[in-house]
């Protein structure tokens, strides 16, 4: 069993002894710790907290525990039930709530669940805020409310409000989408995307919709992370059924992958690139993605006369940098689209609407559209170290070795060469250095990664 406590929330496998897995006792303790934090942050005795969940098997149980814990601390709960992560984020804002909790383990398998924590802006907590909650949980430092001070639960459905919000975005062109007469498929991996995506597509004017793994049972039909190796069957279905475009999401619908009409992957890294190309063509400005995302976003941004900035890995870091630079679009290379005109959170529903608008107005097929963007290929590797090795010292030596190149050390060490880059990051939970390398050819990115791995091993052996 696994339980991971971090500044962004608590995540673990269901069952086991308290402290070993995500047990009911751990859920209650962490829910109460969050309640203490939100009461202090809001200055209210009865703050309002929005709770939403994905469709995984343990969701109903965890939902009941979290809501009871919040009520027990005196919080008023708005429970929006089965809902995407971005729907929950928007509900926090529309309810003028003081915070929110999303019950989802994102792309993790069915045995996992998690509590993801939001502030009153519907955005993920900062490192400092998360650290406070961890400290409360560690010390079990919270007082439950007396009987007349207990909170209550109100149940609401926010899906239509989210869809209406998307339709009102200026660059979502429902007329163009309807006229294109697309045949659109989607793979919801048996979670809340199966509820949200068909409703969105109908509202956008799509008449022919082909559902794949639509029923929100929580019994995922394939490994839920939307990567090529997990989508072989879906890609075959797209090609066999003459689909124009297929959208694939993770269980909480904040990551978006696209499959082209020939059954090939558009490439998860290029979801943001394509959406950014469309946004920048209409509203020129700056962009942000994290250090491990494709260089193609920088190229597209500069083509449109904007400025690109890289942030540390993590949605909260991307959002912070977007606000600092006034970015009009940003996100992460894992298919996470963050569009400030909507809200500061990864939102696959917004991504679908903008991608379809681009596809309709371009008059191109998905494969033709993909060919208009520069080709980069990322190789993802890791090197396992013994616990006695000082990982930070290794990264410092790699930074010194490449001091004459363009080096960014805000999150590990990223070394930018003329036509390629490599990003070295240490794991926070195990003695591992993750090595991401990107180049213009698959074999070149792998060669770069292996060269860097060799150099790290040389340092370790000295």
- The per-residue pLDDT for range 150-201, each reduced to its tens digit, is 999 999 999 999 999 999 999 999 999 999 999 999 999 999 999 999 999 9
Query: What's the pLDDT score for residue 303?
Result: 97
Q: How far apart are alpha carbons 416 and 63 in whole angstroms?
A: 44
Helix (H, G, I), strand (E, B) or coil at 424: strand
Q: What percent of the chain has pLDDT over 70?
A: 99
Average pLDDT over residues 129-137: 94
Q: Residue written as tokens 């939902």?
A: 63
CATH class of 162-370: alpha beta
What residue spans define the domains of the chain? 3-157, 162-370, 377-461
Q: How far apart are alpha carbons 230 and 223 in whole angstroms?
A: 6
Average pLDDT over residues 330-335: 94
Query: What's the pLDDT score for residue 388?
Result: 84
CATH topology of domain 377-461: TATA-Binding Protein (3.30.310)
Average pLDDT over residues 349-366: 98
Average pLDDT over residues 432-448: 95
- Provide the Cα torsion 20, 24, 29, 35; round to 10°: 140
Tokens found for residue 158: 């926010």
Query: What's the pLDDT score for residue 9?
Result: 82
Q: How far apart are alpha carbons 181 and 245 in whole angstroms?
A: 12
Residue 1 scores a pLDDT above 70: no
Q: Of 42, 58, 69, 106, which one is the catalytic site residue?
A: 106
Helix (H, G, I), strand (E, B) or coil at 219: coil
Q: How far apart are alpha carbons 278 and 171 in whole angstroms?
A: 9
Query: What's the pLDDT score for residue 429?
Result: 63
**Other Cβ atoms within 10 Å of 372 Cβ, number:** 11
Residue 341 scores a pLDDT above 70: yes
Helix (H, G, I), strand (E, B) or coil at 5: strand
Residue 68 scores a pLDDT above 70: yes
List Cα–Cα distances, 290 to 103, 130, 383, in angstroms: 24, 20, 21
Q: How far apart are alpha carbons 30 and 109 in whole angstroms?
A: 22
Average pLDDT, the chain: 95
Tokens found for residue 416: 């930018």
pLDDT, tens only, 77-125? 999 999 999 999 999 999 999 999 999 999 999 999 999 999 999 999 9
Residue 405 scores a pLDDT above 80: yes
> In terms of C-beta density within 10 A (0-12 exposed, 13-18 middle, 19 or more buried), how is residue 393 classed?
exposed
pLDDT, tens only, 413-426? 999 999 999 999 98
What backbone phi and psi angles, to 5 degrees, belong to 134?
Answer: -60, -40
DSSP class per residue in 384-450: E--TTS-HHHHHHHHHHHTTTSEEE-SSSEEEE-SS-EEEEEE-SSSSEEEEEEEESSHHHHHHHHH
Q: How far apart are alpha carbons 65 and 59 in whole angstroms?
A: 10
Look at 9 and 373; give whichever has higher pLDDT: 373
Which residues are bridge partners to 434 per DSSP? 382, 425
Q: How far apart are alpha carbons 360 and 259 in whole angstroms?
A: 16
Which residues are bridge partners to 212 per DSSP? 187
pLDDT, tens only, 25-47? 999 999 999 999 999 999 999 99
Average pLDDT over residues 234-246: 97
Helix (H, G, I), strand (E, B) or coil at 245: strand
Query: What's the pLDDT score for residue 462?
Result: 54
Q: Which of 316, 347, 356 is nearest to 123 (CA)?
A: 316
Domain 3-157: give its CATH superfamily.
Alpha-D-Glucose-1,6-Bisphosphate, subunit A, domain 3 (3.40.120.10)
Q: What confidence category does residue 143 fall into, taking pLDDT thresholds of 50, 70 and 90?
A: very high
Tokens found for residue 153: 């639960």
Query: What's the pLDDT score for residue 307?
Result: 98
Domains 162-370 and 377-461 share a fold: no
Cα 227–Cα 292–Cα 277 angle in degrees, nearest 5: 80
Tokens found for residue 205: 């004017």
Q: What confidence category does residue 304 fall into, taking pLDDT thresholds of 50, 70 and 90?
A: very high
What is this structure's pTM? 0.95
The contacts of residue 220 (CB under 8 Å, 6+ apart) are 109, 110, 189, 190, 191, 213, 251
Q: Can 106 be counted among the known catalytic residues?
A: yes
Which one-letter DSSP state was computed for residue 126?
A: P
């Amino acid at each position: 069993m696994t339980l991971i406590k971090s500044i962004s929330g608590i995540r673990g496998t269901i069952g086991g002894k308290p402290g070993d897995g995500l047990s009911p006792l751990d859920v209650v303790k962490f829910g109460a710790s969050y309640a203490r934090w939100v009461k202090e942050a809001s200055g209210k005795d009865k703050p309002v907290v929005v709770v939403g969940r994905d469709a995984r098997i343990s969701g109903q149980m965890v939902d009941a525990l979290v809501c009871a814990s919040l009520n027990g601390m005196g919080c008023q709960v708005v429970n929006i039930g089965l809902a995407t992560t971005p729907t929950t984020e928007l509900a926090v804002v529309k309810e003028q709530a003081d915070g929110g909790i999303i019950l989802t383990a994102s792309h993790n398998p069915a045995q996992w669940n998690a509590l993801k924590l939001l502030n009153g802006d519907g955005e993920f907590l900062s490192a400092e805020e998360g650290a406070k909650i961890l400290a409360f949980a560690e010390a079990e430092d919270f007082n439950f409310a007396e009987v007349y001070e207990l909170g209550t639960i109100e149940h609401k459905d926010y899906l239509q409000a989210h869809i209406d919000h998307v339709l009102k975005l200026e660059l979502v062109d429902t007329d163009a989408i309807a006229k294109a007469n697309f045949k659109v498929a989607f793979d919801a991996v048996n979670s809340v995307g199966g509820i949200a995506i068909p409703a969105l597509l109908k509202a956008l004017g799509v008449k022919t919709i082909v559902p794949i793994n639509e029923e929100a049972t929580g019994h995922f039909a394939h490994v839920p992370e939307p990567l090529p190796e997990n989508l072989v069957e879906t890609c075959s279905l797209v090609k066999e059924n003459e689909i124009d475009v297929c959208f694939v999401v993770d269980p909480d619908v904040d990551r978006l992958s696209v499959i082209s009409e020939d059954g090939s992957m558009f490439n998860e890294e290029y979801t943001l690139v394509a959406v950014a190309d469309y946004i920048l063509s209409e509203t020129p400005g700056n962009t942000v993605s994290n250090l491990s995302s494709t260089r193609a976003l920088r190229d597209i941004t500069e083509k449109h006369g904007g400025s690109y900035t890289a942030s540390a890995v993590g949605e909260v870091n991307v959002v912070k940098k977007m606000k600092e630079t006034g970015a009009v679009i940003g996100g992460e290379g894992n298919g996470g689209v963050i569009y400030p005109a909507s809200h500061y959170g990864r939102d696959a529903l917004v991504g679908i609407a903008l991608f379809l608008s681009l596809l309709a107005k371009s008059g191109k097929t998905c494969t033709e559209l993909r060919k208009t963007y520069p080709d980069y290929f990322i190789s993802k590797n890791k090197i396992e170290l013994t616990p006695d090795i000082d990982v930070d010292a290794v990264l410092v030596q790699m930074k010194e070795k490449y001091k004459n190149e363009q080096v960014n050390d805000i999150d590990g060490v990223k070394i930018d060469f003329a036509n390629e880059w490599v990003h070295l990051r240490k794991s926070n939970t195990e003695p591992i250095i993750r090595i991401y390398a990107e180049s213009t050819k698959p074999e070149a990115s792998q060669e770069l990664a292996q060269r860097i791995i060799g150099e790290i091993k040389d340092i370790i052996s000295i």
